[in-house]
Amino acid sequence: VPLLSGVGGPDTAATLRLARQAEDAGADGLLVVSPYYSRPPQAAVEAYVLRVAESTGLPLMVYDIPGRTGVRIEPETLLRLAEHPRVVAVKDCSYDLLGATKVLARTSLAYYSGCEELNLPLYAVGGAGYVSTVANVAPRQVRAPLDAFDAGRTDEAARLNGLTARLVELMMASGLPGTVTAKELLDAGP
């Protein structure tokens, strides 16, 4: 299993140091989140990712999580970033299936869902899979819709994806730690 080291922050120099440390420590690749807090324009996001790509020999997965960073990495920016040989993948938490489809159609990027509710729809249009937080507590439930889809059971895949979406909704809305919520939902006992 390849190990990606998450790097990023509001400071490019600190991000470059983290990237070097990850490479020196033996990471197989970097998960690069866009600069957060400052809400930079797309040109600055692009320059930032390219600086990281030029500073390392490792492949990069660009992490688009606008709900946490305050800035979306627009599809047009991803299209330009895809031209760099070390930018090889995207973890998309933007909830923009149309934008993802555009990038998938025009690049060779491995495109991963970062939103469990969209794992199946993104996979169905050519996504590579998912990078999931919820799978840490419910791995089979998160994987099941894709397995059903691969087996040609699309109705079952859709039903299971709905259950995954409900699991995410309950975990996010409950205010409880994820493991406690998951235990309750999965009938894991007292």
Catalytically active residues, by annotation: 63, 91
Query: CA 33, 39, 44, 46 torsion: positive or negative?
Result: positive
CB neighbours of residue 65 within 10 Å = 20
> What is the arrangement of strands in the sheet containing 29-33, beginning at the earlier edge strand?
4-7, 29-33, 60-64, 87-92, 110-113, 129-130
- Say which DSSP state 35 is in: P
Pairing of strands 29-33, 87-92: unpaired
Q: Do residues 72 and 35 make contact, with C-beta atoms less than 8 angstroms apart?
A: no
CA-to-CA dists, residue 50 to 2, 34, 39, 41, 85, angstroms: 22, 11, 17, 14, 10
